[in-house]
Amino acid sequence: MHRRQLICTGGTQRVVLDDRGRIIELGSQERCFTPQQRRAITLRDGGCLIPGCSVPASWCEIHHVIPDTDGGPTHPDNGVLVCWFHHRSIETSGWGIRMHRGVPQIRPPVWLDPGGGWRNATKSPTRIADRLERRSGPAA
């Protein structure tokens, strides 16, 4: 279990992530993501998840991976950061986004990477740093 304290303006919010970076605390029945959920998703995703896109988290929207009209919950497990452009073009661009046990995965369009599979996606500097730390990690 991996617990992290996320300091925000105006207070401290606790976000609980598991070892793979899944957010396991915070939830809401509402259709709109709460500021708390948005902060948690921002911590996990770091910015627009589409590879090569450099739009920062503060300009991103939250995409329901399973549309709320199809019963997709408004929960961090079903919301990912994408920029305005990629949010509007997600249906037609060929990029695939899915959640795998709470972790966002991206699949490139066939024209870009034939045979390209699903891979975990994040632009979060803290999670990328975590991953590097784990890879080279102290031999305990």
Find the part of the chain contacting Zn ion (CB under 5 A) among 8-16, 22-30, 51-59, 122-130. Answer: 51-59
Which CB contacts under 8 angstroms, 24+ apart, belong to 117-123? 120/20, 121/45, 121/49, 121/51, 121/97, 122/21, 122/44, 122/45, 122/46, 122/49, 123/45, 123/46, 123/47, 123/48, 123/49
Find the part of the chain contacting Zn ion (CB under 5 A) among 4-12, 26-34, 40-48, 120-128. Answer: 40-48
Does the footprint of Zn ion cover residue 49 (CB under 5 A)? Answer: no
Does the footprint of Zn ion cover residue 48 (CB under 5 A)? Answer: yes
CB 48 to Zn ion: min, Å: 3
Do the beta carbons of residue 65 and residue 79 sit within 8 Å? Answer: yes
CB 34 to Zn ion: min, Å: 23
Does the footprint of Zn ion cover residue 121 (CB under 5 A)? Answer: no
Q: Report the interface residues with Zn ion, using CB under 5 A.
A: 48, 50, 53, 55, 83, 86
